[in-house]
A and B are shown apart, each in its own frame.
Chain A
Amino acid sequence: MMRFLLLFSRQGKLRLQKWFTPIPEREKKKIVRDMTTMVLARKPRSCNFLHWKDLKIVYKRYASLYFCCGLDAEENELIALEMLHRYVELLDKYFGNVCELDIIFNFEKAYFILDEFLLGGEIQETSKQVVSRAIEASDMLQEAEIDNSDYDLELGWP
């Protein structure tokens, strides 16, 4: 099971965090700090896997963003790497050539996509098409509601 997924920039700024098991705030902050210092200190073209406490850490750098996840000790590191890549592909498809700014300004969308892809630290849907279809459908629903609410507002109904 995946324990957490973090996205952070080269400067160590957190861009997204997802915790699949409940962890106290203080512990979260410590993990984030440890991960950023540990991963950022790695030289380019180093191995993508690390051991940290009883977890396996898998990370990969995409442009200026580091994708980093913590796995249970018995998990397969290579599949986690593929999961990270799949997530990047999904983001790319949604935003169209995704960049760090997309994730900063639309961070809730990045979460929604992640929630359709992973659930409780396990893969929920392996098909890219199915995931993007679900996201699209939710967005359409939201759009329809917003249009209605605009209409409500114009009529003076809150």
Chain B
Amino acid sequence: MALKIVKGSIDRMFDKNLQDLVRGIRNHKEDEAKYISTCIDEIKQELKQDNIAVKANAVCKLTYLQMLGYDVSWAAFNIVEVMSSSKFTYKRIGYLAASQCFHESTDVIMLTTNQIRKDLSSPNQYDTGVALTGLSCFVTPDLARDLANDIMTLMSHTKPYIRKKAVLIMYKVFLKYPESLRPAFPRLKEKLEDPDPGVQSAAVNVICELARRNPKNYLSLAPLFFKLMTSSTNNWVLIKIIKLFGALTPLEPRLGKKLIEPLTNLIHSTSAMSLLYECVNTVIAVLISLSSGMPNHSASIQVSLRSIQHYLGLLAMSKILKTHPKSVQSHKDLILQCLDDKDESIRLRALDLLYGMVSKKNLMEIVKKLMLHVDKAEGTTYRDELLTKIIDICSQSNYQYITNFEWYISILVELTRLEGTRHGHLIASQMLDVAIRVKAIRAFAVAQMATLLDNAHLLTGNTQRNGICEVLYAAAWICGEFSEHLEDPLSTLEAMLRPKVATLPGHIQAVYVQNAAKLFATVLRGQEGAPADRTVAQETSQLLIDRLPLFVQSANLEVQERASCILQLVKYIQKLQQKDVEVAEEVTALFAGELNPVAPKAQKKVPVPEGLDLDAWINEPPSESESEDEGRKPKGKAVFAKEESKHTKPRYTEVDEKELAKRREVRKAEQANNPFYIKASPSSQKVYQDGVGVEHIPVVQIDLSVPLKVPGMPMSDQYVKLEEERRQKDKADKKKKDKKKRREKGEKGRRRKGDSGPESEEDITPAHMVDITTEEMPENALPSDDDEKDPNDPHKKSSKHKKKKQKKEKEEKEKKKKKKHHHHHHHSDGAGDESVQNGNVEEEEPLPVSNQSSSIYSMCDIQGNLQDGSQVVVSVIFENKCDSFIKAMEFNVLDSLNSKLQRPEGAGPHDGLTVPFQLPPGISNEARFVFSVQSIVMPQKLKGTLTFIVKTDDSSTHEKLDFKLHFTCTSYLITTPCYSDAYAKLLESGDLKGSSLKLEGVSQPFHHLLARICFHHHFSVVERIGSCASMYSRSIQGHHVCLLVKTADQTVSIDAKCDEPGLLGNVLDEIKLTFSQC
């Protein structure tokens, strides 16, 4: 009511008041800045007038504009004018503007001192009130000094309204002018017992703030506060007091003991969460200050923690964890529940806590839970966070809590299933570290890595920039280095030399090539034991000779270099093999040497060579003047400098060879990861090619069977069970022993019975020992006493590895080329089912060309184009399987009404497209063709021909090949992730039409089934609950396709919904076909 009257009277008086301004700004959304600049011009005019009411109105508008981010500092003097108005209405506006706009460097503040003093002593308490409020915002050291006395007097004002404001502002004054504290403090202390609760709480506020800055000086007030705490019922005040005690207890432990009881009483009686939380925080501080644990009370904390909002509860728990880890550990389940919380910050806090909570006993359980969360986590950042935490938790303090490394390796292997994670290198380094340091695990690790390599296509998948392929680096290295543990080195070798490897990043390919050589050595050694089977060894050599050229062509210098080196070596070995020379021993010798972990302190233990001083200057640093004109340098000094360098330089390099090698490693890794690092230039690459000028393009092989979980790979879960059993057994054994002992020792044993109650940490014996004790030390290491591990040593977990390898001198390379009599069977093997599985067909019989069995073989992958709803890209891989050179390939398709091959402008509708490369014998390459498609509802079959010229040494023939292209409906689908809530909305919308499908006799596990649908039909899993999963995909023209897949007793039912029934029917038919084929 009052407001309306005020508004009405202002409206009458001015042309544009604050409300008009606000309304105007809202009406000029398009040209707000322009409108406001005209308003500011108006305001400037208004400020020039003498009428204080007009001025106040202008200042009020400026305060609003200031909030919008406009600079109003130019009006500071006008604000002071309005502040000094005698009318409360304007004074109020003036002080408000000042408190919003003034800061310490505003110079007009100096002019306000007297005005403020006048207002403070005004008979009107509201004048004093606004002055105090304003002052609290812009008080400067000068103002504080000049006004401290006036404010101190106000602390004893008759009106509590003024007293409480004065008390509160004193704190600001103390901050700006600390000298005022001593004279004002007695009066402030008095106010703790002021009859008015508002003044009392203000005094508590100020003293608590002061005490928190410097608790020692306020210990004497503890009894007074203790009295207040037990008597006060005002929660706001209680919180302040309890917080103050939290700051005081570390200084006075006796206080803590006294506090525990009233605090626990409060904890149990209060219903206010904020007070409860404050009590708990202070109890924690008390417990920390009392070194002896108080189990009874920590129990009461735990009860209360459950009820507090999760986030704060977790924060408090992390405080308790530092001192009383046991009491937090019992809340493991609660914390694990927090991982399900919607709020990411809560989940992250919970993860932090888990890190500190693990023990040998619960590690497996916790990690198992975390793995479940990894599977269902949304958003890559959180998933990556989970991944790093799992690894952190497991690897902390030198794998202290891991009792079974087989379990850990399987966890790492399971983690590789994560798509799109950035932490591939982290997993890789863990794999390497464990495999190197835990000798007992190597056989198992190697077997796992071999399966990983064999299924590498699952890791690289469709997205090439997937960070997870880093694990292949580790896998290849482990398989190569510890190849003696491999069951079937030959098949692993084959897996490492697949053409698809060429799509991996360079540094991984390099490791592949190098370790392929190691595997080769192992295969040779294995074969020569049984001389009857010499052909296998020879075939292995042939395999390398066939496959390595792919790497020789690599754009990566490292890969190229290693591959060409090894290729020549293998060629030489092959020659020796044909002469029946035993070479295995020599080849193995190339890679001889045991790899041992290096002790973290090894570097330190290297004795410093006599006379080495790394801090000394090698060359005297040139002084400023010298660098300017070196010519005038005194001669003697120059000679001296030169001598210095001669003496020290060589020694320096000798000593630091290790360091240099390390740096080189680091630099290499950096270069490999640095997209800006210029790798081998294209021009230099051509030199290595056979002069044919064939561009090398990575070959994408289409994978056939795609199990997401690699068969035969043990799942980490089973270890949890195994571990339980093992522990049970251990315990049983121990009991037996104990019994024996007890029988022997009689009386003594019985007394000890009490100790062997619950399983204690120390009882759990690890299944594998981390091989930290046998770390390698430098040969001339100095014996010293400080061998104990420093817990803060940053190198503790470092896995520096040293390898002694004997490099055999390279023998002369044979350059004579061998005749190839090898056919690429492996590609044609799966041509049949491939066509169906990928929904992208290459129906083509290799036709015999000329009288040799030469032919061209090709396969293709059809994929929709995301950018354009009517385009489909067909990638075709051509492989030359004959011994002759193939050139002038022309690709042509008979267009249908619906699908057309996109030809360059100006080409006729029946012209073929020239394939932009030629194929030397045995080489394959990929070409892409774009088709425009009108309707994507129906599958399409297109007929086409490929014409090419086969060129032999003496003649060339023109050949032709017919083929059919099959565009399935699946190939129009694009894997699109979908969140469950969006998915639910989509289904609710009712725009989709349903259809369903039943598959009988499907015996494969459910995740397998889902993986197949994902892979072959470009779906993504939205949500999976038990044996039921929802899946989603989108067509290139934006149709939504939703599937609900359920399984029971070998029967799979798929309920599908889509806005285009025709498309859906065809997709379902294709899914049916996929499963009928397996």
Residue positions of A touching B, CB distance < 8 A: 1, 14-17, 19-20, 22-25, 29, 43, 45-47, 49-50, 74, 76-79, 81-82, 104-109, 111-112, 115, 119-120, 122-127, 130, 134, 136-143, 145-147, 149-150, 153, 158
Contact = CB atoms under 8 A, between A and B. Distances in A.
B309 A47 contact: yes
A124 B132 CA distance: 12
B5 interface: yes
B218 interface: no
A23 B69 CA distance: 14
Interface in B51-68: 51, 53, 60, 63-64, 67-68
B448 interface: no
**7 tightest CB-CB pairs across the interface, nearest first?**
A78-B274, A120-B136, A46-B343, A79-B274, A115-B133, A142-B89, A47-B311
Interface in B110-155: 124, 126, 129-130, 132-133, 136-138
Contacts of B277: 76-78
A79 B236 contact: yes
A79 B5 contact: no
Contacts of B569: none
Nearest to B93: A108
Contacts of A136: 2
Given A112-B92, A115-B133, A120-B171, A125 B164 contact: yes
B345 A108 contact: no
Contact of B273 (A19, A78, A109, A149): A78
Interface stretch (B201-209, B528-536, B697-705, B1014-1022): B201-209
A150 B92 contact: no
Contacts of B130: 115
16 contacts: A15-B67, A50-B345, A78-B273, A78-B312, A79-B236, A104-B22, A107-B18, A108-B96, A115-B99, A122-B209, A123-B201, A126-B237, A138-B88, A143-B6, A150-B9, A158-B51
A119 B931 CA distance: 71
B274 A120 contact: no
A22 to B, nearest CB: 5
A143 B168 contact: no
B64 A107 contact: yes
A100 to B, nearest CB: 12
A49 B311 CA distance: 8
Given A104-B22, A122-B168, A126-B234, A23 B103 contact: yes
B475 interface: no
A49 B198 CA distance: 28
A3 B124 CA distance: 30
B172 interface: yes
Nearest to B5: A143
Contact of A139 (B6, B132, B171, B212): B6
Given A14-B67, A107-B67, A112-B96, A134 B88 contact: no
Contact of A22 (B68, B138, B343): B138
Contact of A19 (B13, B53, B137, B309): B137
A15 B67 CA distance: 8
Nearest to A50: B345
Given A45-B342, A46-B343, A126-B197, 6 more contacts: A105-B22, A106-B3, A108-B63, A126-B201, A126-B236, A134-B126
A122 B171 contact: yes
Contacts of A130: 198
Which of B5, B133, B234 neighbours the largest number of chain A CB atoms within 10 Å of its CB?
Answer: B133
A111 B67 CA distance: 12
B243 interface: yes
B88 A142 contact: yes
A57 to B, nearest CB: 11
Nearest to A80: B274
B129 A134 contact: yes
Contact of B89 (A17, A23, A49, A145): A145
Nearest to B136: A120
A108 B273 CA distance: 33
Contacts of B138: 22
Contacts of B133: 115, 119
Interface string B63-99: 1100111010000000000000001110011001001
Which of A1, A105, A136, A142 neighbours the largest number of chain B CB atoms within 10 Å of its CB?
Answer: A142
A1 B236 contact: no
A46 B9 contact: no
A31 B252 CA distance: 39
Interface in B152-182: 161, 164-165, 168-169, 171-172
A150 B13 CA distance: 9
B137 A20 contact: yes
Q: How large is the interface on B (under 10, 10 to 19, 20 to 34, 35 or more residues)?
A: 35 or more
A79 B238 CA distance: 11
Which of B50, B126, B277 neighbours the largest number of chain A CB atoms within 10 Å of its CB?
Answer: B126
Contact of B274 (A47, A82, A123): A82
Contacts of B202: 122, 124
B103 A22 contact: yes
A23 B104 CA distance: 9
A139 B2 contact: yes
A16 B67 contact: yes
B19 interface: yes
A108 B60 contact: yes
A20 B129 CA distance: 17
Nearest to B346: A47
Contact of A46 (B50, B103, B172, B345): B345
A149 B277 CA distance: 53
B273 A24 contact: no
B470 interface: no
Nearest to A45: B342
Contacts of B239: 76, 79
Nearest to A7: B67
Nearest to A86: B236
B310 interface: yes
B923 interface: no
B179 to A, nearest CB: 19
Interface string B308-322: 011110000000000
A45 B309 CA distance: 12
A14 B68 contact: yes
A119 B201 CA distance: 13
A48 B594 CA distance: 56
Contacts of A138: 88, 92, 126, 129
A25 to B, nearest CB: 7
B618 interface: no
Contacts of B345: 46-47, 49-50
Contacts of A22: 103-104, 137-138
A124 B88 contact: no
Contacts of B769: none
A76 B274 contact: yes
A43 B71 CA distance: 34
Interface string B237-248: 101000100000
B1011 interface: no
Interface in B457-484: none
B278 interface: yes
Nearest to A109: B3
Given A78-B277, A122-B171, A139-B3, A49 B312 contact: yes
A125 B196 CA distance: 11
Contacts of B894: none
A58 to B, nearest CB: 11
Nearest to A102: B3
Nearest to A120: B136
B10 interface: yes
Given A19-B137, A74-B212, A109-B3, A124 B198 contact: yes
Contacts of B161: 134
Interface in B1-43: 2-3, 5-6, 9-10, 13, 18-19, 22-23
Contacts of A29: 69
Nearest to A138: B126
Contact of B2 (A14, A120, A143): A143
Contacts of B197: 126-127
